[in-house]
Structures are given as structure tokens and as C-alpha cells.
């Protein structure tokens, strides 16, 4: 058995023992940690299977030429706008955005557009923006989006330029 595997098994065992001891001895913080873990796990079980099915369908149905045309090297500013729109419609946050970004890259999307998609997935989701507007107001949400989206695009361009100069490549999955 590899050294890393032993460490992982030991860490998981310690965590489970901590939860069992917390439940047995009435340690409230440990019980809350266990409850939060269970709640988060159930949330992931609801979101991720559907997301991965959609990602699989995306992989099969969307042609490489389409991604290259709209999000590739020749897409220009349209590529950034498409990535922001796609990010706004992404459900599941960054848990889903990273696998989608990986497949977009594999289908020929420009690195800066990928970074824009990931950044926009964190700040531009439609449900989150509606929720924010209901509490903070439409004016606040509009100003936040008008300031943050251009900053995400500029940062993505700079980050892509940095990685391109260093000949960075995303490694294929195992």
C-alpha cells in the first residue's frame, strides 16, 4: 500500500472516530460537524449526478468546431460574452464549473475564455443574482455585475497570457 493511501485511510478513520466520540459523549460541536458533513454530502448527491450527465451529453452533442468558433482563439470579445452567459446559466456553482471548463478546454476554447467562465461562474449565476437583488436591491446587484464582470475578463486575459508565456498545458485526466 502506498504511503499516501495509508495517510488517507488514517485521516478518514480519525474523522469517523471523532464523529462517533462526539455523538457518544454529547460534544455539540462534533455533532454539528457531522450534521454539516451529512447535509453537504446529500446536497452533492442531488447536484453532481445530474451535472455529470449533462456534462457527458455536452461532450457528445456539442461539436468541437462549435466550441472553437464561439469560444476559441478567433472568437474575440464574443467568446468572453458567451462564457459569461454560459456561467450565468450554470447550476451547482464551481463544483460543476470546473468539469465544464475542462471539457471546454478539451474542445478548443481559449484559455482566457475558460478563466472568464470559471470566474463568472462564481459571481454571475442567475439564481444567486436574483437572491442578492431581493436583499440588497437591483441597483446594488447591477453595479456589482457591471464592475465585477469586466474585472474578471481583464484578469482572465492577464492570467492566460501569464500561463501561455510559460507554456502551461492542462494535463489530460487519468
Confidence at residue 149, expressed as pLDDT on a 0 to 100 scale: 95
Asked if residue 172 has pLDDT above 70, the reply is: no
pLDDT mean across residues, the chain? 89
- Of the candidates 121, 123, 111, the one whose C-alpha atom is nearest the C-alpha of residue 159 is 111
Element (H, E) at 155: helix 138-165
Residue 114 has pLDDT above 70, yes or no: yes
117-162 residue pLDDT tens: 999 999 988 888 888 999 999 999 999 999 999 999 999 999 999 9
Is a pLDDT exceeding 60 seen at residue 173?
A: no
- Please tell me the distance from the alpha carbon of residue 147 to that of residue 124, in angstroms, as a whole number: 12
pLDDT tens per residue across span 89-100: 887 778 888 988
- Angle ∠(111,114,117) on CA atoms, nearest 5: 155
pTM score, two decimals? 0.77
The confidence score (pLDDT) of residue 48 equals 81
3-state secondary structure 40-67: HHHHHHHHHHHHHHHHHHHHHHCCHHHH
- Alpha-carbon radius of gyration of the chain: 20
Q: Tell me how far apart the terminal alpha carbons of the chain are, to the nearest angstrom.
A: 19
**CA separation for the pair 123, 101 (Å, rounded):** 16
User: Confidence class of residue 1 from pLDDT cuts 50, 70 and 90?
Assistant: low
Task: Please state, in angstroms and rounded to a whole number, the distance separating the CA atoms of residues 24 and 134.
Answer: 43
Q: Report d(CA 7, CA 17) in Å as an integer.
A: 15
- Determine the average pLDDT of the residues in 6-28: 91
Structure confidence by residue, pLDDT tens digits, 21-75: 999 998 999 999 999 999 999 988 888 888 888 888 888 898 989 899 999 999 9
Amino acid at each position: 500500500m502506498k504511503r499516501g493511501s495509508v495517510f488517507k485511510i488514517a485521516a478518514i478513520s480519525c474523522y469517523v472516530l471523532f464523529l462517533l466520540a462526539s455523538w457518544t459523549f454529547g460534544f455539540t460541536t462534533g455533532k454539528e460537524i457531522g450534521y454539516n458533513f451529512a447535509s453537504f454530502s446529500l446536497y452533492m448527491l442531488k447536484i453532481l449526478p445530474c451535472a455529470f450527465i449533462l456534462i457527458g451529453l455536452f461532450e457528445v452533442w456539442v461539436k468541437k468546431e462549435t466550441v472553437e468558433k464561439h469560444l476559441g482563439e478567433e472568437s474575440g470579445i464574443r467568446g468572453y460574452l458567451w462564457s459569461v452567459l454560459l456561467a450565468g446559466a450554470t447550476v451547482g456553482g464551481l463544483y460543476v464549473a470546473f468539469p465544464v471548463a475542462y471539457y471546454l478546454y478539451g474542445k478548443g476554447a481559449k484559455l482566457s475564455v475558460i478563466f472568464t467562465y470559471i470566474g463568472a461562474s462564481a459571481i454571475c449565476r442567475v439564481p444567486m443574482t436574483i437572491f442578492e437583488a431581493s436583499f440588497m436591491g437591483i441597483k446594488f446587484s447591477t453595479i456589482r455585475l457591471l464592475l465585477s464582470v469586466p474585472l474578471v475578463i481583464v484578469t482572465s486575459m492577464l492570467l492566460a497570457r501569464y500561463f501561455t508565456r510559460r507554456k502551461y498545458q492542462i494535463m489530460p485526466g487519468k
